Amino acid sequence: MRFGIFYEHQLPKPWNDGDEARLFHQALEQVVLADRLGYDYAWEVEHHFLEEYSHSSAPEVFLAACAALTKNIRVGHGIRQVIPNYNHPARTAEGLATLDIISNGRLDFGIGEGATRLELGGFGIPAKEKRAMALEAAEQIANMMVMDPYPGFEGKGFSFPCRNVVPKPVQKPHPPMWMACTNRDTIKIAASIGVGALAFSFVNPEEARNWAEIYYGIIKSDECVPIGHAVNANMAMVSNFSVHHDRAEAIRRGQEGFEFFGYAVNALVAHDAVPGRSTLFADFQKARGNRDEEIIAATKMAERNANGIGTPADIRDHIAAFRDAGVDQVIFLQQAGRNQHAHICQSLELFAAEVMGEFKAEVAEREASKAAELAPYLEAAMKRKRWMQPLADEDIPVVKASVQRAQINATS
């Protein structure tokens, strides 16, 4: 089992001077700590204009800082908004390759499209076309990172001439590709295009087992036609996370932040928004009701069913259930709502000290067995891929020099 940490950079109001800077720098400290403790991944989302919920609008900057400050932990776009209106595919390919170089080959590349009107409307993206636009762009980003030169493309979402997109990534053929998934339908899409599934929905182990069976069933079938130059057959599930030897204290430290995360995900889609006048956390507090009753209910739930918030024993059972369901990685949502930096660090340390080791000990054998089982299926999938044909040297178009500049040089 692999373990990751996940960042939205949530900042509930009221805001004070220095709060945003403190949030980012504390997150960097947490990633450095996670690297030292042996966590496998640090994932960073990309969102725009989502006040209070996500201040992570430039993940490439944050991840570059993470890469520079760490040695072993992988840095992941979880996800990068790949629709050309957000980020031109060539610029994404350049940024990914540069970050892969800076991190010495530790980058993972998750693709996403956005869901809220604040984001889609801000960049003029038709909601009904966003999925097709994202998949089209993602396939070409992979081609741009590999092909020398990239032959050019005429598509529905964007067009681009022949250019050699540099630099090229350290990892060959390119960093592992993933896709954000929130339901069974998107799990099916991720498997059908041969990318890892970043399951950003909070589901129980039984439902996770269903998702894993669907995902790997498609990976092994003729439905899998890769958009990248390699198949990344992996499933990661996000989990809330707060660990303490006292279960009630773990709940007091983490439950509110987790509830705010869930509330905000729905509210940003279902509620009207006034830019610059967000009341997201205040609305959440009103909707939450009696906190004492909530904590009591959450304590009873934790006693019945480990859910990522609780004692080390609770979390051990929680992780084991996901492992047995066929999940490859659990990603901990530890920075949510008003969860405190000190408590996050303490949870990371306690989990690493008392739980992580027994699961990490299984990784090599489990991954080797899985690789052997999937090898013939992945080979067959790559044979089904629709490859972009490279240009012969004589067919590479010449980019003409500026006539005006040539005339100036001739008369000088």
Q: Give the C-alpha separation, 299 to 13, whole Å.
A: 27
Q: How confident is the model at residue 412 (pLDDT cuts 50, 70, 90)?
A: low
* CA nearest neighbour of 121 among 249, 340, 314, 272: 272
253-290 pLDDT, tens digit each = 999 999 999 999 999 999 999 999 999 999 999 988 75
pLDDT band at 410 (very low <50, low <70, confident <90, very high): low
What digits encode the pLDDT tens for the residues 180-201? 999 999 999 999 999 999 998 8
Check: CB of residue 116 under 8 Å from CB of residue 264.
Answer: no
Report the alpha-carbon distance of residue 155 to residue 152 in Å, rounded.
Answer: 10
| CA separation for the pair 146, 88 (Å, rounded) | 17
Residue 201 confidence (pLDDT):
83
Q: What is the pLDDT, as a whole number, of residue 236?
A: 98
List the structure tokens of 87: 């980020």
Name the residue among 94, 169, 172, 84 with its Cα closest to residue 135. 84
Predicted TM-score of the model (pTM): 0.93
| Each residue's pLDDT tens digit, 366-395 | 999 999 999 999 999 999 999 999 999 999
Q: Please give the average per-residue pLDDT across 20-33, as a whole number.
A: 98
Mean pLDDT, all residues of the chain: 94
CA neighbours closer than 13 Å in the CB half-sphere of residue 392: 2
Q: Torsion angle, CA of 24/25/27/28, rounded to 10 degrees?
A: 120
The answer to whether 141 and 155 have CB atoms below 8 angstroms apart is no
* pLDDT of 289: 78
Which residues fall within 8 angstroms of residue 231, CB to CB, at 6 or more apart? 194, 195, 219, 224, 378, 381, 382
- pLDDT score recorded for residue 295: 45
Does residue 298 register a pLDDT over 50? Answer: no
264's tokens: 């905000």
Helix, coil or strand: residue 251: helix
**Mean per-residue pLDDT for 318-344?**
96
